[in-house]
Each structure stands twice: as structure tokens, then as C-alpha cells.
Amino acid sequence: MALSIGIVGLPNVGKSTLFTALTRKGGLAANYPFATIEPNIGIVPVPDERLTQLAKIVNPGRIVPATVEFVDIAGLVRGANSGEGLGNKFLANIRETDAIIEVVRYFQDDEVTHVEGDADPLRDSEIIKTELILADLGTIERALPRLQKEAKRDKAIATKLELIERLQSWMNEGNRAVSFDMTDEERALLYDLHLLTMKPLLYVANVDEDQAGATLDPIDGVTPIPISAKVEADIAEMSEEEAAEFLSALGLEESGLARLAREAYKLLGLQSFFTAGEMEVKAWTIPIGAKAPQAAGVIHTDFEKGFIKAETAGYSDYVGLGGEAGCKTAGKLRMEGKEYVVQDGDVMHFRFNN
């Protein structure tokens, strides 16, 4: 299952430009608000240099990177919640994503209309914050009548109702759901509301191309990732060598996509492990702290159910010792059991009963 990320922001801030660059689907960026009227979903491979290194050793039939799914929706405007613009209608398309990227316009360009007149990152992100909170409050209001009815007969639902009402007053004061003081159990009770402001949030500052390496002031306590959507769009058209040259001319080491993927992994507490065989070298996504059976389960539920052990080599051992045979000779191929906490980059081979 791919990690999925919804892209929000004001109209015309470069969401679709970034999305198109990320997904190389071509086509939808346009210089007028609301250019995006169908939700767009794109699946993007997560760049990981380690896959290339593993492939050099194993010579697999194919390389399969981890993927992230991006969902591009129409821009939100002030008052979107009460029906202004088109964006609010599309919020439903990102309710089930794992995280949200908010694109904030930093670039200067008189040719590109700004719905609020001029770019002002703090004010603009405040507008989006308000609209997302209002959208969530709408979700809560719609959920309440049924809960109130059922709470009379069901104690568990009464507890949930009380929690949601407390959350509602918190959010009525202009706060995101994510900052509400709650236990993990309470968080789980709120899960099925799919609140937008409960999701981890990354700010992407769409900057002018000479600013792509800049360090920016935090927005609402979070440091935005500077990316030039325009540069990314150009890079998407280039060969790998051309792109590398172009990036280094701008003083950048890697594309915005690579940075974004890495930051998203970090934000969500995710990491990768690898499987390496003649058929394929493949990256898999798991939460940091996941144990071996859970990692096995990402590949196949049978692997988790029948888990016996995992032959495991650390990434640097595997590459340094020239693969599985080298690891075995050097005593670096470990047999790990059910309690093993998988480390980022582990190369794993699962043994299981079926």
C-alpha cells in the first residue's frame, strides 16, 4: 500500500505545477485559478540511491522503489467552507490520505494572479488553516446527531461523544485537531472522522528558483521546505545527467522530489527495508520501530502469520561485503526472530510457514 499525501493551498500557488513535476503526468498547470477541476492522483517512486547500490550487487531483473501517492485538488479560498470557490468540494478527495502537503506561494511573478492580491505566506497559510479547521468542524457537526442519539443507550459511544464535544470546542477556538491534548486511545476513537487537521502537515514553500536552497522562517512553528515548482517542472523533462548538471548549477544536491520524499518519511516516522533477489530488488515502507513480523506482513499477510525468522543483513554490511554470500562468510547474516526491531536499510529474507 502506497503512502498517500494530499496537496492543498490557495488557488494558483503552484500545486498542479508541483504535482505534474512530481508525477510527470503532464498537462494541468495553467495561469488561472481553479485550473484543477478533477482530482488528480499520481503515484511517484521514492528516490533511493541504496536501491542502485543493491542492484549492482544482485543484478536483478528489475528494481522496484517504494511509492508515494499524491492527490492534487483545486485551490481553497477564504470562505471555501461556506461554498466559496471549488476547493471545499474536493477536500473529500484527501480525507483518507496519510498526510497533507500545503503549498504556499513565495515566488514573485506579476503575471500570475494571486487571489489575495499579493503573496504573504503567513496570511495565506492562516487562511488555509482556517478553512481546514472549518471543514473539520463541519465533519464533526454532521457526526454529532447520530452519536447523541446512540449515546443514550451505549456507554462507549457516550464517552466518544464527550471527547468529540471537547475537541469541537478546542477547534472552535481556531486550533487544529492534532494539537488537542489526547491519549493514544482517544486518538484512535477519533480516527474514523478522518479529520484533515489531524493529519501530519508539511509546508512546501514554492520559491523563486534562486531561493530553492534557502532556509525559511517557520510557519505556525513548522519550517517550510523550499522548492521551486518551476525548477521541478523543468527537471521532470530532463535526462538524469542533465538534471544533475542543472541542479548543481543552482547549488542544489538533489531534486525537490527527493527532498520532499525524505521529509515526508521523516514526518511520518517511516523507513525502508529491502528485499534483494535475482528477480527484483525492492524497497518496502514500514514505521520506525516495526518488528520483523510486521515488516514481513507488508510483503504478504501470510508472511506475517507464518513468520519463523528473518535472515537479515545491515545495509552497509550487505553492500560492503558484496551481498548475501559475503555476509554469510563474515558472520554478518543474522537470523532474527519475532522481537527484532527492523533497522532502516536492512536487507531481509523471510522464512515462514504456510
Q: Interface with Mg ion by CB under 5 A: which residues?
A: 15-16, 35-36
Asked whether the beta carbons of 194 and 91 are under 8 A apart, the reply is no
Residue 110 Cβ vs ligand GTP, minimum distance, rounded to whole Å? 9
d(CA 22, CA 99): 16
* From Mg ion, ligand GTP, none, interface partner of 352 (C-beta below 5 to 8 A by class): none
CB nearer ligand GTP, residue 29 or residue 201: 29
CB nearer ligand GTP, residue 167 or residue 229: 229
CB nearer Mg ion, residue 30 or residue 188: 30
* From Mg ion, ligand GTP, none, interface partner of 14 (C-beta below 5 to 8 A by class): ligand GTP
Footprint of ligand GTP on this chain (CB under 6 A)? 9, 11-17, 29-31, 33-36, 74-75, 107, 109, 112, 206, 228-230
CA angle 125, 129, 130 (to 5 degrees): 120
Residue 96 Cβ vs ligand GTP, minimum distance, rounded to whole Å? 21
* From ligand GTP, Mg ion, none, interface partner of 125 (C-beta below 5 to 8 A by class): none
Residue 176 Cβ vs ligand GTP, minimum distance, rounded to whole Å? 22
CB nearer ligand GTP, residue 209 or residue 304: 209
Residue 14 Cβ vs ligand GTP, minimum distance, rounded to whole Å? 3
**Cell numbers given for 68:** 508515494
* From ligand GTP, Mg ion, none, interface partner of 297 (C-beta below 5 to 8 A by class): none
**Cell numbers given for 157:** 459511544
CB nearer ligand GTP, residue 108 or residue 169: 108
Asked whether the beta carbons of 42 and 14 are under 8 A apart, the reply is no
Closest residue to ligand GTP: CB criterion: 75
285-290: Cβ within 8 A, 24+ apart: 285/3, 285/46, 285/66, 286/342, 288/344, 289/341, 290/341, 290/342
Residue 267 Cβ vs ligand GTP, minimum distance, rounded to whole Å? 21
Burial 184-220 (b: 16+ CB within 10 A, else e): eebeebbeebebbbbbebbbbbbbeeebbeeebeebe
Given CA atoms 32, 34, 36, 38 in this order, what sign does their dihedral have? negative
The secondary structure of 25-65 as a DSSP string is ------SSTT---S-EEEEEE---HHHHHHHHHH--SEEE-
The secondary structure of 254-265 as a DSSP string is S-HHHHHHHHHH
Residue 332 Cβ vs ligand GTP, minimum distance, rounded to whole Å? 47
* From Mg ion, ligand GTP, none, interface partner of 224 (C-beta below 5 to 8 A by class): none
CB nearer ligand GTP, residue 107 or residue 352: 107
DSSP state of 219: B
Residue 119 Cβ vs ligand GTP, minimum distance, rounded to whole Å? 11
* Phi and psi at residue 306, to the nearest 5°: -100, 20
